[in-house]
Amino acid sequence: MLLQGKKLLITGVLRDSSIAFHVARLAQDQGAEVVLTSFGRTFRITESIARRLPRAAPVLELDVSNGEHLDTLSDRLGEHVDHLDGVLHSIGFAPQGAFHFMDADWDDVATAMHVSAFSLKSLTRAALPRMSSGGSVVGLTFDASYAWPVYDWMGVAKSAFESTNRYLARDLGPRGIRSNLVAAGPVATTAANSIPEFEQFAKWGEHAPLGWDVRDPRPPAMACVALLSDWFPATSGEIVHVDGGFHAMGF
């Protein structure tokens, strides 16, 4: 069992179709104890979804743009686990205005950058008091090497997110803690519903050599579980593509 005895903090569980839900489910199957986060109107939804896991998991309130939530996270975690072995960052948000590149205003862009990029650092920093050598931080991204249709300022935020991962790898390395990302192909999650014309990505599988099913969140979830395990002890600052091979093809 890859995660026997591990204790993990998992963000982003909103529906049982979410990648984060499948990370939590697979992590429990592999022996881990998990704590989930949610906030605001989605908190009760996450509590309900948590009961669909193999073992019901506690849910902590955490808005990554709320300083008080971050400052108290370690103490609140201590009510459920005595330490952390891993953190999954599965958080992203941009106002609708941020999906119109030339017309977006700074307020919308700033929100996207704060929630979708800076939060990788702030979440990690908040969890660090519970982490020790051998720990792993894993985030989910959508390959920011390209200017995708309709993704606009969220794509820019993902570029910042990927850069943040590299700097985290630099600063966490001396503590023996790894930081890596999984670049997932498009998955029809709740977050995807906020992306205008997401259906454009439905043909992804036609160009991915291994094929791709936008309705299947399990492949990226499995990669996250692997990175949260001890099987990548010398890998940090990396972006692992789980997209059916799409990223390696030219068209």
Rounded average pLDDT over 108-114 = 98
Pseudo-torsion of CA 133, 65, 90, 179, nearest 10°? -30
**Could you tell me if residue 225 is inside a domain?**
yes
pTM: 0.94
Residue 73 has pLDDT above 70, yes or no: yes
Residue 235 has pLDDT above 70, yes or no: yes
**Could you tell me if residue 139 is inside a domain?**
yes
Across 177-210, b (16+ Cβ under 10 Å) vs e yields bbbbbbbbbbbbbebbebbeebeebeebbeebee
Domain that holds residue 70: 7-248
**Could you tell me if residue 74 is inside a domain?**
yes
For the chain, give the number of residues: 251
- Concatenated DSSP letters of 125-140: HHHGGGEEEEEEEEEE
**Could you tell me if residue 162 is inside a domain?**
yes
Residue 42 has pLDDT above 90, yes or no: yes
pLDDT tens-digit series, residues 198-213: 667 777 888 899 999 9
Rounded average pLDDT over 200-228 = 91
**Could you tell me if residue 2 is inside a domain?**
no
Residue 217 has pLDDT above 90, yes or no: yes
Count of the separate structural domains present in the chain: 1
Within a 10 A sphere around the Cβ of 174, how many other Cβ atoms?
A: 8
CATH number of 243's domain: 3.40.50.720
pLDDT at residue 182, rounded to an integer: 98
pLDDT tens-digit series, residues 159-173: 999 999 999 999 999
